[in-house]
Structure 1
């Protein structure tokens, strides 16, 4: 397993070591002990979520705050997504910065999104199945969010704006500058 820190502190790309032969392939998707050894971060997850979305769907930017904050380990099981993490930790040197990368079953990459980060993704393929491992349980009262097209963040979601499909909730999220993270 190869772990690379992104330009955002504590946010990591995880690439497995894949063993292939004529039968197919095998890889260790995650190893808590190796992750903690290489990053110094807790990698214990308590909840797994799966979503299926069609082309153009954009989910985000979401986070859990306070005692219900969540770190996530995300991957794409089918299709192709552009995954984005936004550092919303006020005391961080990378506060207000974002990082994105394509996740696919072919590249087998995962992104570790630490607590205090916002997270979102856009679907670049016809459909996509997306996996989220979370280190804390979801709590509706602890939801936080930032509007997907915030001008201060200026995220390139790799989709034409007219192709983006949003939930009703995601259409009316607050601006980055209007919040006290």
Structure 2
């Protein structure tokens, strides 16, 4: 993403490249609050500018849920199949035209000069059955607007070009550019 945006002079460092540190639990009511808390933790622990993301799925018929609870919607953190089964069961009586949804990503940058938070959304709808073997999470049941394929049926390049995370990171480019 940085290369495509022409940002040079930044060295990317992952969590694997820094000593382990404790992160506060994700207790925010919004993706933005959780992303900012993670970025603050990373900056405080390393002294390096830190980018963090919080993301999930919002479903119109469920008043925006699962939202920040997306990874643990079924009660077990990270059980993608159970989360998909529960969501499909909750929408079983919802007609196709009312199954609007969006993948949402909030990205936060915290550095010595301030805090920046952006939000990217990838609109679509929820299918009636899972389709595709790619991706993870809700990808098999999420159909992006304008597509007939689920996110799990898209190539990695197609998904990266359109995704909520890609959209959020693109909005963060000016703040990242200001670091150099």
Higher helix share: 2
- Alignment TM-score > 0.5, same fold: no
After TM superposition, the score normalised by the length of structure 1 is: 0.25
Q: Which is greater in Rg?
A: 2
After TM superposition, the score normalised by the length of structure 2 is: 0.25
Higher strand share: 1
Higher relative contact order (CA 8 A, sep 6+): 1
